[in-house]
Structure 1
């Protein structure tokens, strides 16, 4: 095994998505030799980053594809609201401030931006969209990494890490030992580990295991092996294992990698009912990009983990149409039959909702004054009666994007053991996003965390490797 030491790399990066690539690129730019290990085969490289579309970023003046300004305080307030205060303000503000300087660096590595698409125009102030989406971003970063001399190995899942007093020594891929002076872990959460999801969500009062009915919106390779190994090794953790980016998606979605195209975006334009044809939450609480990520959890708490988004003809053209057409009928009874829910109960629910609607000036671009009165749960904005055929319904189930349980970090992205930072082991992306996201989500913030902390981790890993090399020669 001495042979492995002869080729000790400066910085080992474990993972192959956005955060890992940002870390690898920054470490390489700082002069470190870098080896990146991606668990997936080349064709599936990039993890969940391939499914992303944009980056939420702070800016104090209009910039190319970003309109107006999105100052630090507003970004922080948006994050505070969706997380309900379950966030580390120091680390969140660090990510927010760092996000303002990312895009020039991203462009240098081949990432291009485009104006936001119609249907996402309200995001043009806060989110910069990638030309060609996340797949193009991942490909650009891999091209740049290869050009800079980062060594990349695919189909190389790390199953354990060798530590000595909180310091990284080596990673093991099967029975191959790979030593490095410093390491960045960015290997994703545990969303594709069904057993761990079952354990996290438990059983409900009906004896169901809700996690059995979840689709995984992203990669099948994020099994949380490294996360579990670090927890077992005594690393300090943050977050609740049942919290995740969990969206209500089309119930016909595939088990893995359905990505963005399985989203159903008309929730705020109609009502959502469960299998018993009952409404269970305020569909008009806030704008869809701020609230879409609470609906997966809401649906997960319903019987059978299923819900139905119901709209009428007035909603047409006001949302991004789903990839698969929904059920459609000219009467409420016929729609209920198609969806397999009780006709009488469904008609009662819709009529009660229609009667409670107080229609003012409908405007889906602002929190308008169309609301319900005397109805529980209320619909606080965009409440229009469902009375104009054809009526449409989409079956919904929870879709997990990524889990929030992660490793506790500081401003250097260092992994901590009993409150002490490791001298040479760092973490970025989903494996530490829970420091910033205790619960909830707002569009594009996962990429903000991955990009900013990936770059921070890469810079500090390169510095730690330099220090390690100096000590070795001393």
Structure 2
């Protein structure tokens, strides 16, 4: 009998499998995707948010625990478990040597408008390279990996895990780690979670999925039916405003539109609806998907002029380009008169300051609702550009309640041999909102904890069995 079963194939699952194997347990990993699509949403990631008290290898300056915590507190609006959040934060400071041991490489710190050289460590080759490195290491250590093996149900005796089933196959093991992702690819569940709005629209029908098509939330539903304690709002997710022309699935990072803070964003009625300059982009980019989701038709338009070019990561697809603002409105299909009224009102409210996109500068609007707090400059220098935006769901936050040992809970009682990591428990830390790289911090921290604890539980069972014999 195998000691530890890991269900899932992304960062959290791989961290769990590697840690369990290092602890001496035999490990079986079941990935629902084919080999070429392995890795879940982790294949689309780029970086890990890391606490550090002084400059460290690829990280500059310092990013202490309290600042990380305050950043997380701000984006979640306080909807977070502080104990588990601080556990994640502290774990992020010491995980990189272990990651390197398993083949992950980091690139030199980035400069420019992303503002993350101090806070985030970037993977050389991105998430796909990280996932491939972990799979190579897992194979070398003897982890048994099965692809195209989606688990559809678990056998439980109360809170005790017995076996997993995938079709007619049954896998009986001593301990299990659930790391199979959220339900972002399940359109019907998204429709149920978001419901119908006051305009009679079903917002979820217009959502694009930035990540994998294989995260259907099957095990979250199964565990809920089995009496596991859930946490999180099903409508909350890592939701980014992405290029409306992005593919339905697996668009990843490259579909993001990063010029929002350098211009204005309007809805299909050519009206602004939020402060584009509220804070640095990595701390605010993930609120824009939800903002756009609440607009008519679930669409928005990011508008900039030539002054913004070169100050943000260029999108994969070129935007609409025009020599005049009225022409841009026509190309985007926006009501021209209202568009010009909105842009004129915005331009007239801009107050000159010292523009600095690397700082919270003093360029702001006055007498305008919503205001633009920073980086407010008149949109007046042709050519002008416009990018259509849709909500892009990365992962959902509804998941399983857990503790600092990554145990699944049933009626408040912790299972002794069933553990959870990654997106399936991220809602314990992320009640809402997001800040760049924290998903990988959560997955890495709890993947490693879950793997260690699962191995301990399995080996304890083995020892008890031997003693009985």
Query: What TM-score bracket applies, with the shorter chain setting the length?
Result: over 0.9
Deviation of residue 58 (structure 1)? Answer: 0.7
CA distance in 2, matches of 1:465, 1:194: 37
User: Aligned residue pairs: how many?
Assistant: 467
- TM-superposition CA deviations, 1:78-122 (whole Å, max 9, x none): 100100000000000001111111000000000000023444652
Query: 2:155·2:164 contact (CA, 8 Å) conserved in 1?
Result: yes
Deviation of residue 439 (structure 1)? Answer: 0.3
Query: Corresponding residue for 2:194?
Result: 201
Deviation of residue 470 (structure 1)? Answer: 2.1
Query: 2:286·2:435 contact (CA, 8 Å) conserved in 1?
Result: yes
Query: Corresponding residue for 1:349?
Result: 342
Query: Corresponding residue for 1:312?
Result: 305
TM score, norm. by length of structure 1: 0.98
Structure 2 residue aligned with 1:461, among 454, 464, 469? Answer: 454
CA distance in 2, matches of 1:394, 1:228: 37
Deviation of residue 132 (structure 1)? Answer: 0.3
Deviation of residue 60 (structure 1)? Answer: 1.4
SS in 2 for 1:113: coil
Deviation of residue 468 (structure 1)? Answer: 1.3
Gaps of 5+ in 2: none
Deviation of residue 165 (structure 1)? Answer: 1.7
- TM-superposition CA deviations, 1:37-56 (whole Å, max 9, x none): 00000000000000000000
Deviation of residue 471 (structure 1)? Answer: 2.5
- TM-superposition CA deviations, 1:7-59 (whole Å, max 9, x none): x2100000000000000000000000000000000000000000000000111
CA distance in 1, matches of 2:113, 2:83: 30
CA distance in 1, matches of 2:48, 2:239: 18
Structure 1 residue aligned with 2:54, among 54, 61, 82? Answer: 61
CA distance in 2, matches of 1:354, 1:121: 25
Are 2:282 and 1:282 equivalent residues in the alignment? no
Query: 1:430-445 counterparts in 2 under 5 A?
Result: 430-445=423-438
Are 2:108 and 1:115 equivalent residues in the alignment? yes
Query: Corresponding residue for 2:26?
Result: 33
CA distance in 2, matches of 1:209, 1:160: 30
Are 2:156 and 1:157 equivalent residues in the alignment? no
Are 2:401 and 1:389 equivalent residues in the alignment? no
SS in 2 for 1:289: helix
Structure 2 residue aligned with 1:43, among 36, 39, 43? Answer: 36
Query: Corresponding residue for 2:70?
Result: 77
CA distance in 2, matches of 1:340, 1:309: 13
CA distance in 1, matches of 2:336, 2:92: 50
Shift in alpha-carbon separation, 1:83–1:222, aligned structure 2, 3 A: same
Are 2:221 and 1:228 equivalent residues in the alignment? yes
Query: Corresponding residue for 2:329?
Result: 336
SS in 1 for 2:115: helix
Deviation of residue 472 (structure 1)? Answer: 2.3
Are 2:411 and 1:418 equivalent residues in the alignment? yes
Structure 2 residue aligned with 1:380, among 373, 390, 405? Answer: 373
Query: 1:239-258 counterparts in 2 under 5 A?
Result: 239-258=232-251
CA RMSD of aligned residues (A): 0.7
TM score, norm. by length of structure 2: 0.99
Query: 2:113·2:358 contact (CA, 8 Å) conserved in 1?
Result: no
CA distance in 2, matches of 1:315, 1:359: 16
Gaps of 5+ in 1: 1-7
SS in 1 for 2:392: strand
SS in 2 for 1:258: coil
SS in 1 for 2:121: strand
Query: 1:119·1:320 contact (CA, 8 Å) conserved in 2?
Result: no
